[in-house]
Structure 1
C-alpha cells in the first residue's frame, strides 16, 4: 500500500481525542483538538531535538518525522514515533533516559 492510501484510511488514535457518543473529551471542537495536537508535537520535539530530529503535522491526520539531513518518514500516530526515530537516526532511543531528562529540565 502506498503511504498516501495508508494515511487516508487510518483510524483515530487514542491520543487524538475526538467526540464520540458516550465518551467525554475536552477536545470535542476541531480547534481544541488541533491545539492539543500542536502541544503534543511541541513536547515530542523537545525530546527529539536532542537527537537532531523534528516532528511536524501533516494535514491533521499524520506526522512527518525528519532528520537534520533531510530524511523523512510519515507516521500515522505517536505510537509509531520512537521506532521511526530509531530507524531514521540509526540510534536507540529512550525518551526516559535520565541524562536526557536532566537536559530537558535545564531547558525548561
Structure 2
C-alpha cells in the first residue's frame, strides 16, 4: 500500500510526496504555507486521482514525459517525476490511481 509523506521544505513550506509500495516517489505536491493546506491537498489527490480527465500528460522541454494531477478548479495538486518513455508515464499514472485512495499519511514535518 502506498503512503503520503508530509515534510517541511527549507523555506518553511509543507509538501507531500505520494510513495508507491516500493518507496518510489510517484507524485510530488506544490509547497503549502500551512500543514492544513497540505493535508487538504492529500485529500484532493485521493479524490481526483480516480478521474482520468484530471491527469494532464505532458512532455518536458528535454523530451521527457511526465504528468500533472489537477483539481476540479484546474489547479495542479501534484507533479510526477520525469520518465524515459510514455509507457513509463502511463504506468506512473496507474500507480497513482491504485495507491492514492487507500494510502496512509506519515508526517515527518
Give the structure-2-normalised TM-score. 0.31
Bigger share in strand: 2
Bigger share in helix: 1
- Bigger relative contact order, structure 1 or 2, given CA contacts below 8 A and separation 6+? 2
Q: Which structure is larger by alpha-carbon Rg, 1 or 2?
A: 1
